[in-house]
Amino acid sequence: MKWIKDKEFIRGNVPMTKFNIRVLTLAYLNISLGDRLLDIGAGTGSVSIEGALQGARVWAIEKEEEGIELIDKNCKKFNAEINLIKGVAPKDLPDLKFSKCFIGGSGGRMEEIFKYLNANLEMDGIVCGNFITIKNLNQFINLLKEYKYKDIEVELIQSSSMDDIGLMKGSNPIFIGKGVKI
Amino acid sequence: MKWIKDKEFIRGNVPMTKFNIRVLTLAYLNISLGDRLLDIGAGTGSVSIEGALQGARVWAIEKEEEGIELIDKNCKKFNAEINLIKGVAPKDLPDLKFSKCFIGGSGGRMEEIFKYLNANLEMDGIVCGNFITIKNLNQFINLLKEYKYKDIEVELIQSSSMDDIGLMKGSNPIFIGKGVKI
Amino acid sequence: MKWIKDKEFIRGNVPMTKFNIRVLTLAYLNISLGDRLLDIGAGTGSVSIEGALQGARVWAIEKEEEGIELIDKNCKKFNAEINLIKGVAPKDLPDLKFSKCFIGGSGGRMEEIFKYLNANLEMDGIVCGNFITIKNLNQFINLLKEYKYKDIEVELIQSSSMDDIGLMKGSNPIFIGKGVKI
Amino acid sequence: MKWIKDKEFIRGNVPMTKFNIRVLTLAYLNISLGDRLLDIGAGTGSVSIEGALQGARVWAIEKEEEGIELIDKNCKKFNAEINLIKGVAPKDLPDLKFSKCFIGGSGGRMEEIFKYLNANLEMDGIVCGNFITIKNLNQFINLLKEYKYKDIEVELIQSSSMDDIGLMKGSNPIFIGKGVKI
């Protein structure tokens, strides 16, 4: 597995899932050839692009014009093919079946997204989200339970990186949540 | 990328690199088809086996008989091929060229290992180690600098997992160090 | 400030707030002479005893007989005076006014406890809790907001300690939540 | 114990030990009435001032003019008395006996500082340092061992705080090291 480094992505001012979290998220999604991955709140498209390079067919939805342009540029840079949707989930999502779903941002519509996934995520499909607030994480866990997802995992990752002069610089703590549809 | 879960490995009482750290370690090693990976202090072989499944030819050295047997069993279970060496690094290592080296345990011979790598790790090859003591981490960083490795990265990863009743359970903090040979 | 070390407390099998978390919790409670501190779910009484030694009059409630005995022993050992209540909060709490309240465990009755505090915690009084589950932390934050507490702070503390042979050993991540009554 | 909040200190652009780390550092120093505390690399004087308010006589050394002015202003604001030395440790330190020493910054002269402490820190005196680099932490641990300090403790603290909109914001990981002189 060749992994793309943060600095290789074209970013602008759009927040991007950082390397450690991106790698772990893709590992929890357990992407394999033939997967159909839905990326909700795709940002710069870093998760989508790695997903595509790992063999998934990818649909990415993003509401901000700046994000859409960045994803497009990054797709070209890394020679990845992504079905890009400008809009809001789940309202603007196509009625397709997916095997994997990543939630990078829910825009306050997590319940509607789970309703959508109830119809559109396959049995044994995986939903995985990144969370930086207790409120959204708690809602995600509650919805996983309400919809009876199995193999629920919640990881809290705090990573720090040594900078050029040897200082350990902390990142924000990120929660990675995951469940498998029954 | 299909990733193996911790519970799938046969473990016995041998310490094993846990999922989050194993995934990140392999990401920093940036394994690709054709790599020749040397795994020093292989333990249960979890890094070696994932490396092999990701397309590397793997040599693993382990001094404990229990470890050797576990690696052998895990290779069979996951259908991975590994050149297994019972012994101590670098003394019992073959005089081969490697493109990647993972140090899971150095047995107090980090200096000798770096001397060995100076001859046996290819240009642009990556050495990556996991550390749980400040002393060994500090020595690893010093040796990376002494041997003029580039693109040095040191990550401190603290991960916690939610258990069945919702408690967040902490793991030990792990340092992942990495350098690229010039 | 002389602080009591973990190993000085008589503990039995009752879970105890560890040194780093105990110190920080008392700092967020900002105990001073004349405070009236209520300790809900007192466990071994470590927070109560430090509170008493820092000048507060303390009421501690604990439902487990083993806990009650340990608190009693620890009070004698450290020469601290605590009003000890065997029972369940808020049902068995006296109708007194408090300036500080620590919630070590709510036994699933956080809402009732906040109702009680609404009548029994003074204006500008501080409530502070320790949380190890996302669910309870989320509920605590929601109740702080519902009852319009001010100066809300939520801290996530991950601490690790070096052991005798130099290994960094992680603890569970703990959330410390705090609000000031208006 | 009333504790001073970060925002109450006059800071300028000088780095300041943050609340959680300051509280824990003072707890490891175990300050009590009559202590003689030496603060090396005092910065804004936050540790010195809390130490003074907790009953210690304090000597603080700081090389930067900006720091000296800030400490002076903070002393006035909090009505704390500190013997302030503009200069470099240990060269400009007085030949006095101390019971406690905090090292906030060593300016690359940790060895000389330990030599000084060997003569000037009392038996059973405590030295405590804050570290943000592996290199300095490792040197501090080595010097504690070389000079045969006892009750050595090394804590790694990662703390994150919830901001106004609910995001958990990480801080840099800090190591707190401590030893007791024999």
SS3 sequence, chain B? CCCCCHHHCCCCCCCCCCHHHHHHHHHHHCCCCCCEEEEECCCCCHHHHHHHHCCCEEEEEECCHHHHHHHHHHHHHHCCCEEEEECCCCCCCCCCCEEEEEECCCCCCHHHHHHHHHHHEEEEEEEEEEECEHHHHHHHHHHHHHCCCEEEEEEEEEEEEECCCCEEEECCCEEEEEEECC
How close B136 gets to chain C, by Cα (Å)? Answer: 10
DSSP string of A91-130, one letter each residue:
TT--S--EEEEEES--TT-HHHHHHHHHHHEEEEEEEEEE
Nearest to A20 among B19, B30, B155 (CB): B155
Assess contact for D74 and D49: CB atoms under 8 A: yes
Residue D115 is predicted with a pLDDT of 98
Nearest to C20 among D1, D24, D162 (CB): D24
| CA dihedral (C59, C63, C67, C69) positive or negative | positive
Give the alpha-carbon dihedral of C120, C124, C130, C132, to 10 degrees: 90
Assess contact for C62 and C42: CB atoms under 8 A: yes
How far from C131 is each of A22, C139, D111, CA to CA, in Å? 28, 10, 42
Burial annotation C42-70 (CB, 10 A radius, 16+ → b, else e) = bbbbbbbbbbbbbebbbbbbbbeeebbeb
Assess contact for C122 and C182: CB atoms under 8 A: no
CA-closest candidate to residue B5, choices C17, A8, A27, D132: A27
Are B169 and C168 a contacting pair at CB < 8 A? no
List the single best residue of D135, D172, D175 to mutate versus A (max A Cβ within 10 A): D172
D108 neighbourhood in chain A, CB within 8 Å: none
Pick the residue from chain D with its C-alpha nearest to B134. D138
CA distance A66 to A63: 9
Burial annotation B59-68 (CB, 10 A radius, 16+ → b, else e) = bbbbbeeebb
Classify burial at B135, counting beta carbons within 10 Å of its beta carbon; exposed 0-12, middle 13-18, buried 19 or more: middle
How close C165 gets to chain B, by Cα (Å)? Answer: 9
How close C90 gets to chain A, by Cα (Å)? Answer: 26
pLDDT at A1 over 80: no
CA distance B104 to B95: 20
Token pair 């789970």 is found at A114
Residues 6+ positions from B100 with CB-CB distance below 8 Å: B29, B30, B31, B35, B36, B37, B38, B51, B56, B125, B126, B127, B128
Residue D99 is predicted with a pLDDT of 98
A3 neighbourhood in chain B, CB within 8 Å: 27, 30
Residue B12 is predicted with a pLDDT of 85
Residues 6+ positions from C82 with CB-CB distance below 8 Å: C45, C48, C49, C52, C58, C59, C60, C71, C75
Residue type, C118: N
Are A153 and B160 a contacting pair at CB < 8 A? no
Instruction: Encode pLDDT of B80-132 as tens digits.
Output: 999 999 999 999 999 999 999 999 989 999 999 999 999 999 999 999 999 99
Assess contact for B2 and A28: CB atoms under 8 A: no
Instruction: Encode pLDDT of A2-53 as tens digits.
Output: 899 999 999 988 888 899 999 999 999 999 999 999 999 999 999 999 999 9
CATH topology of domain C15-180: Rossmann fold (3.40.50)
Residue A14 is predicted with a pLDDT of 83
Are D168 and C156 a contacting pair at CB < 8 A? yes
Pick the residue from chain B with its C-alpha nearest to D137. B134
Residue C14 is predicted with a pLDDT of 83
CA distance D139 to D123: 22
Assess contact for B1 and A30: CB atoms under 8 A: yes
Residues 6+ positions from D112 with CB-CB distance below 8 Å: D89, D90, D91
- CB contacts under 8 A, A 81-110 vs C, are none
Residue D19 contacts C, CB cutoff 8 Å:
yes
Residues A80-104, mean pLDDT to the nearest whole number: 97
Q: What is the pLDDT along chain D (182 residues), one digit of tens a residue?
A: 689 999 999 998 888 889 999 999 999 999 999 999 999 999 999 999 999 999 999 999 999 999 999 999 999 999 999 999 999 999 999 999 999 999 998 999 999 999 999 999 999 999 999 999 999 999 999 999 999 999 999 999 999 999 999 999 999 999 999 999 99
CA distance A26 to C31: 46
What averages of pLDDT result for each successive group of 10 residues across chain B (182 residues)? 91 89 98 96 94 97 94 96 97 97 94 98 98 97 98 98 96 98 96
Classify burial at D32, counting beta carbons within 10 Å of its beta carbon; exposed 0-12, middle 13-18, buried 19 or more: middle
Nearest to A27 among B3, B32, B160 (CB): B3
- CB contacts under 8 A, A 38-57 vs B, are 54
Nearest to A137 among C134, C154, C158 (CB): C134
Assess contact for C20 and D178: CB atoms under 8 A: no
Nearest to A160 among D165, D168, D172 (CB): D172
A152 neighbourhood in chain B, CB within 8 Å: 162
The three-state DSSP-derived secondary structure of chain D is CCCCCHHHCCCCCCCCCCHHHHHHHHHHHCCCCCCEEEEECCCCCHHHHHHHHCCCEEEEEECCHHHHHHHHHHHHHHCCCEEEEECCCCCCCCCCCEEEEEECCCCCCHHHHHHHHHHHEEEEEEEEEEECEHHHHHHHHHHHHHCCCEEEEEEEEEEEEECCCCEEEECCCEEEEEEECC
Classify burial at A158, counting beta carbons within 10 Å of its beta carbon; exposed 0-12, middle 13-18, buried 19 or more: buried
Instruction: Encode pLDDT of C31-82 as tens digits.
Output: 999 999 999 999 999 999 999 999 999 999 999 999 999 999 999 999 999 9
Are C133 and B169 a contacting pair at CB < 8 A? no
- CB contacts under 8 A, C 115-134 vs A, are 134
Nearest to C137 among A134, A154, A158 (CB): A134
Burial annotation C12-34 (CB, 10 A radius, 16+ → b, else e) = eebebbbbbbbbbbbbbbbbeee
Are B158 and A158 a contacting pair at CB < 8 A? yes
Are D162 and C168 a contacting pair at CB < 8 A? no
Residue A12 is predicted with a pLDDT of 85
Assign A159 to helix, strand or coil.
Answer: strand
- CB contacts under 8 A, A 160-179 vs C, are 173
Residue C178 is predicted with a pLDDT of 98
Token pair 């010093």 is found at B142
Cis link prior to A173 (omega < 30° from 0)? no
Assign C166 to helix, strand or coil.
Answer: coil
Q: What's the longest Cα–Cα distance across chain D?
A: 51
Instruction: Examine the predicted complex and report whether its ipTM is higher than 0.90.
Output: yes
Where in chain B are the domains? 15-180
Token pair 């409530």 is found at C127
What tokens does A11 get? 């970013």
D137 neighbourhood in chain B, CB within 8 Å: 134
Residues pairing with D60 in the sheet: D39, D84
CA distance A156 to A174: 6
Supply the pTM of this predicted model.
Answer: 0.96
Are C168 and B168 a contacting pair at CB < 8 A? no
Assign A150 to helix, strand or coil.
Answer: strand
Assess contact for A182 and A123: CB atoms under 8 A: yes
Residue A13 is predicted with a pLDDT of 84
Residue B1 is predicted with a pLDDT of 67
pLDDT at C1 over 90: no
pLDDT at A160 over 90: yes
Assess contact for A59 and A116: CB atoms under 8 A: no
